[in-house]
Structure 1
Amino acid sequence: MVTGLRVMGLMTSQDNTNSLYSLSIQIHLDGLSFFTQNIHSKEVIDAQIIAFSTQVNPATLLTEVQNAFKDSLVLSQNFDKVTVVYSNELFTVVPSALFDPTKGADYLKFNTKILSTDHIAHDSIDFYDIVTVYVPYTNVNNFFFDTFGSFDYYHSTTIFTKYLLGKFTSGEDPQVLINLQGSYFEMGVVQHKKLLFVNRFEIRSKEDFIYYVLFTMEQLELSSETTAVVLTGSITKEDAYYKIAHTYIRHLTIADAEHSQIQQAQAILGSLL
């Protein structure tokens, strides 16, 4: 079970809608992706990726998000449920037994730069006793609040970790999952139904990608000759990222997206919502 944060507010005229659709949005500093689903059938109605012309900073991110909403007719509709996922490096993962919600900044200050004004949020993956502590983009949250009223939000690492632990815990050998999303990727390792490692890496080239993958495997004493590595997200066998990974990793496969319409955007998110 993933327990995230829910921002509540008084709904406007959207309260009167009979919409049966949900909206899921993933936010990154170089763009956003979203898809809409029928709440009951889970049918994907629409899926899009919107790339910003350049990578922005948290202060100017709001303008890009607002522009995306102005330009997209899909995003101007009413929805019964809205879920926002933030993908940034401002996070850490903490065992539930060690987590104190009043000390969120203390968990983050050793591995990421935070400001005294930053709002610290957390998601709980209760069944596995894991908490993701992170900084959401408050200005963007306020925009979604004004637009939709109530909505749920999470960090992308929470969604990725839940997917990893739910799908890749069979067998005795360690298993590696990599979710490639253009300018970054998430990487997790599980063994004996336990999370050994999870992190997120910003990349600019296929060389960055393979360096982080092989370095992580080396530090965890995982052999590139024997360890199974599964790729998902925005990757195909024709991609340079796959080809360079295949050069160094013997047992490499690409997972089929559970919703083919959103394979390039949010396959993992789509399987969980």
Structure 2
Amino acid sequence: MAKTVTNTHTEFHCDKLDVANTSSLSLLFYPQRLIVLAKNQNGLVIGVNDYPFVEDKELEMILEKDLFVSQMRSQCETTLYVFSPDFCLVPSVLFDASEVQHYLNFSVETTGKDAFYSHLNDSQLVIVGGIDSTLLAIFGNHIKNLTLRHGSSLAIAYLLGEKADMLNQELAVVIEDHEMYVAGFINKELKFFNRFEVRNNQDFLKYSFSVLHQLAFDRMHCKITLYGNLDEINVQEQVLRKYFKNIEITTPKPSQNYLPGAESFRETKKLEAFWAS
């Protein structure tokens, strides 16, 4: 079950937690939030720690004191998922790993940032991401065997796996901490993908209408599927239903498995709480 610890973070731990059983760590890194997800050698989630923070020094303290990171930093593989506006998609046939910094520079200013990339499984896309160099150094000081992926890779990979069940005009929206990833599918093929910061209903409607217009979708007939917690972007379902006729708010098909007790992390409604990449 979820447990708030002295107003510093929330724990979702299995009933009989043994940190020594940790085999891998996934770190979900948002602008002001870090989620540490630990799995055992069987791929079962044994515990999750969810931390808010504001300043870099707070992040450093979190990494120093976190139960899983502090004890397992050099003993297991760790993947850092960076949720930031610094990313772009590159077709695999055009991708050259030596040009990663240049790809990212087409989308964002790259001064003071480190670029990284990952291939999507069974896809023709490569996701290039960026992270502030000082922040990467903080993680590097505390964690060995660190693999970097952009947070958007989780949303794209999941949605591509769902495209066979999509309609000819469909928008899929994945909500992540004051932002949303929007994918547009035409005839079950990905034609649009981007990230938008959303703070209220007006933001959601503005960006949704813009994407619908770009794809020439009929908003009264196309399907819109939302995954995640609407509260994280301060959006109300009853407002959305006034503007969209075919809208579904759902949870991802579960493939993330837990030891008893840790499954309370699903209460966050995050994609990563249900689906394992």
Normalised to the residue count of structure 2, the TM-score between the two structures is: 0.77
Contact 1:47 1:261 in 2 (8 A): no
AA paired with 1:272?
A
Superposed, 1:8-47 pairs within 5 Å as 19-42=21-44, 44-47=45-48
Q: 1:268 to 1:226 in 2, by over 3 A?
A: farther
Are 1:87 and 2:83 matched, yes or no? Answer: yes
Does residue 64 in structure 1 map to residue 75 in structure 2?
no
- Which whole-Å CA distance do the structure 1 matches of 2:40 and 2:270 have between them? 16
Question: SS in structure 2 opposite 1:108?
Answer: helix
Matches within 5 A, 1:17-166: 19-42=21-44, 44-53=45-54, 61=56, 63-70=57-64, 72-78=66-72, 80-115=76-111, 117-166=112-161
Quickly say closer, same or farther: Cα 1:265–1:98, change in 2 above 3 A: same
Does the residue aligned with 1:77 lie in a helix, a strand or coil?
helix
Query: Structure 1 residues 106, 148: closer, same or farther in 2, change over 3 A?
Result: closer
Counterpart of 2:176 in structure 1 is: 181
Q: CA deviation at 1:196?
A: 0.7
1:115-264 matches, within 5 Å, as: 115=111, 117-171=112-166, 173-235=168-230, 240-257=235-252, 258=254, 261-263=264-266, 264=268
Contact 2:171 2:184 in 1 (8 A): yes
The whole-number CA distance in structure 1 between the counterparts of 2:103 and 2:89 is: 9
String of CA shifts for 1:199-243, please: whole Å, max 9, x gaps. Answer: 00112222112211121112111122111111112237xx63433
Does the 8 Å CA contact 2:25/2:38 hold for their aligned counterparts? Answer: yes
The Cα shift of 1:111 comes to 2.7
Aligned Cα RMSD in Å? 2.6
Q: Tell me the distance in 1 between the aligned counterparts of 2:220 and 2:150.
A: 32
Q: Secondary structure of 1:224's partner?
A: coil
The separation in 2 between residues aligned to 1:109 and 1:23, in whole angstroms, is: 30
The 3 A distance-change label for structure 1 pair 233 and 266 is: same
Q: Shift of the alpha carbon at 1:270?
A: 5.1
Measured in 2, the distance between the counterparts of 1:269 and 1:133 equals 24
**Long gaps (5+) in structure 2:** 1-18, 257-262
TM-score, normalising length: structure 1: 0.78
Q: Do the aligned partners of residues 224 and 40 (structure 1) sit closer, same or farther apart at CA in structure 2, a change above 3 Å counting?
A: same
Identity of aligned residues (%): 20
Residue 28 of structure 1 aligns with an amino acid whose one-letter code is Y
Identify unmatched segments of 5+ residues in structure 1. Answer: 1-16, 54-59
Label 1:223 to 1:215 Cα distance change in 2 as closer, same or farther (>3 A).
same
